[in-house]
Amino acid sequence: MPDDPVDEIRGTLYFNDGSLVYAGHYLHDEPRTDHTHSFVELAVITGGAGVHRSMLGDQPLAVGDVVLLRPGVWHGYDRCDNLQLYNCCFSVDLLHRELAWTRDDPLLGYLLWTGPYAMHRRGMLTAALDPAELAECVVHLRALDELRARPAHAHRGDLVGRLTLFLSCLSRAVDRSRTQSDGEPAGPVHPAVTSAIKLMEEDLSRHWTLTELAGRLGLSAGYLVRIFKATTGLPPVAYLARHRVETAAGRLLHTDDPITQIAQSVGWPDQNYFARRFRAHYGLTATTYRARFTSGTIRLGETGRPVVGPDGRPASGARRLS
């Protein structure tokens, strides 16, 4: 099996070979230091127990739990007791290209685009799979893992297809949970919401106002707020602020630009205002965030041990991760 296509450089995990998607099976028997990602990551717990650390606090983990993290969200693992999990990671380019259609899908749109930010989740979504859902997800994750041994250029469709099957399975489980708690399944996304998001994300430094945004869409401001909040859980201006702060986090980690320049590039030229918004979102100042996640260089999988199967040998597709 080829080496993992992921490195950790300066505290941020990234794909080192241009991979679009990757899945691997890991065992955590030691704490995993806090880190961030340049890609979307989903962790599916398949055995043992532990604690997931993030800006939302400590979350106990058990078999069937799933954690989705959008790029830039920091997290780590603690109190690991034979914690076994599948990591599934895919690039932002794939999300915005091959999976762009998922924005308009009620279930996948919530899973990948709006759910991680609704209810002040700050880019992270959690779910609990029942045994049947977990088994179905593992089938697709194992298949993704096995595709690592095949030439990516000849199996691009297989990779995207298997990822889509996994995400579809997971989105149904999340929708089941939402239906049980809210009493109503996810509905279709209003096209004006998708258009509003696209306008804001494509011109982030613009001084957007609700009146201007609604005018560009031919809607009243009040109606836009209602349909936008029904889909994302946030009004448009709050959604824009969230996207600005996450874009700023990425630029803090991946560029050497001064913080003042980054603040201006995301539409917040007032340095004090930027500082307050960044700390409110990540729980850290921009300076601390950059220093904390841009120190040290380690190879993913330097320590740890492989997952062991029922026959006492390493399970197929097992990886090492501390």
Inform me whether the pLDDT recorded for 284 exceeds 80: yes
pLDDT tens for 207-234 read 999 999 999 999 999 999 999 988 777 8
Helix (H) or strand (E) holding 90: strand 75-90
Highest mean pLDDT among 37-46, 138-147, 180-189, 236-245: 138-147
Inform me whether the pLDDT recorded for 322 exceeds 50: no
Inform me whether the pLDDT recorded for 27 exceeds 80: yes
Q: Higher model confidence: residue 85 or residue 291? A: 85
Q: Residue 318's pLDDT band (boundaries 50, 70, 90)?
A: very low
DSSP 81: E
97 with 205, same domain: the answer is no
Q: Higher model confidence: residue 252 or residue 315? A: 252
- Supply the CATH number for residue 134's domain: 2.60.120.280
CA dist 286 → 57, 120, 206, 212, 276 (Å): 19, 19, 21, 30, 9
* pTM (whole model) above 0.75: no
Q: Which of 184, 210, 245 is the C-terminal boundary of a domain?
A: 184
118 with 219, same domain: the answer is no
16 with 147, same domain: the answer is yes
Dist. CA 37–CA 7, nearest whole Å: 10
31 with 177, same domain: the answer is yes
277 with 238, same domain: the answer is yes
Give the pLDDT confidence score for residue 312 in this predicted structure: 38
Dist. CA 163–CA 142, nearest whole Å: 11
Neighbours of 63 (CB within 10 A): 17
170 with 195, same domain: the answer is no
Give the pLDDT confidence score for residue 4 in this predicted structure: 60
How many residues comprise the chain?
322
**How many domains would you assign to the chain?**
2
The amino acid that residue 110 corresponds to is Y
Neighbours of 315 (CB within 10 A): 18
CA dist 53 → 29, 147, 168, 214, 251 (Å): 15, 30, 26, 39, 23
Angle between the N-to-C axes of helices 191-202 and 221-232, in degrees from 0 to 180, rounded to the nearest 10 = 90
Three-class SS state of 83: strand
Q: Longest Cα pair distance anywhere in the chain, in angstroms?
A: 64
- Supply the CATH number for residue 251's domain: 1.10.10.60
Give the pLDDT confidence score for residue 158 in this predicted structure: 94
Mean per-residue pLDDT for 65-74? Answer: 89
CA dist 83 → 40, 86, 124, 247, 312 (Å): 21, 10, 20, 32, 17
pLDDT tens for 269-279 read 999 999 999 99
CA 309 and chain centroid, separation: 29
Mean per-residue pLDDT for 72-80? Answer: 90
Rg of the Cα atoms in the chain: 20
CA 107 and chain centroid, separation: 16
Range of the domain at 160: 6-184
Q: Residue 16's pLDDT band (boundaries 50, 70, 90)?
A: very low
Q: Higher model confidence: residue 199 or residue 103? A: 199
Mean per-residue pLDDT for 191-206? Answer: 91
Dist. CA 202–CA 303, nearest whole Å: 41
Q: Higher model confidence: residue 10 or residue 152? A: 152
Inform me whether the pLDDT recorded for 48 exceeds 60: yes
Least confident of 10-24, 84-98, 145-159: 10-24
Inform me whether the pLDDT recorded for 302 exceeds 50: no
Q: Which of 128, 155, 184 is the C-terminal boundary of a domain?
A: 184
CB burial class (10 A; 0-12, 13-18, 19+) of residue 266?
Answer: buried
Give the pLDDT confidence score for residue 150 in this predicted structure: 87
The full DSSP string for 287-320 is HHHHHHTSS-EE-TTSS----B-TTSSBPTTB--
180 with 199, same domain: the answer is no
CA dist 225 → 186, 195, 196, 233, 236 (Å): 18, 13, 11, 10, 6
86 with 206, same domain: the answer is no
